[in-house]
Amino acid sequence: MLFSSLALAAFSLGAAAKSHTGSSPHYDFVVVGGGTSGLVVANRLSELKDVTVAVIEAGESALNNFNVSNVMGYSTAFGTEVDWAYQTENQTYAGGLQQTIRAGKALGGTSTINGKSFFLSLTNTR
């Protein structure tokens, strides 16, 4: 499957770059960010004939991370190595406190820490 090959290439990019002796690796496209959108863009680009695509992701693969694969464990990945845990400045309308903004730091991006949850948008069908 194309996506599996692309994902494998994404988190083995560091090893691949080191294996080129004497010359730098060449890619037609470099996608920065291996989150949900970045991987979709890279996958679509890789469908083009004779095109090479590299994905650069700050995090690692989280396939074997129980905090990510446990469907019932929403929030168990918060504060771990797969969470950027950005801190805001003090917020006037939050009692002057800082807030933590969760964002996934892994191949798959924030979808790796969302507990595999989604919300349906209900619209009026009249």
Query: How far is it, in rounded angstroms, from Cα 100 to Cα 116?
Result: 20
Amino acid letter, residue 31: V
Contact 96, 89 (CB under 8 A): no
Query: How far is it, in rounded angstroms, from Cα 64 to Cα 105?
Result: 14
Encoded tokens for 93: 């309308």
**Pairing relationship of beta strands 100-101 and 53-56 according to DSSP bridges:** unpaired
Quick: pLDDT tens for 60-108: 998 888 878 777 777 888 999 999 999 999 999 999 999 999 999 999 9
Q: What is the pTM of this model?
A: 0.67
**Pairing relationship of beta strands 86-87 and 53-56 according to DSSP bridges:** unpaired
pLDDT band at 120 (very low <50, low <70, confident <90, very high): low
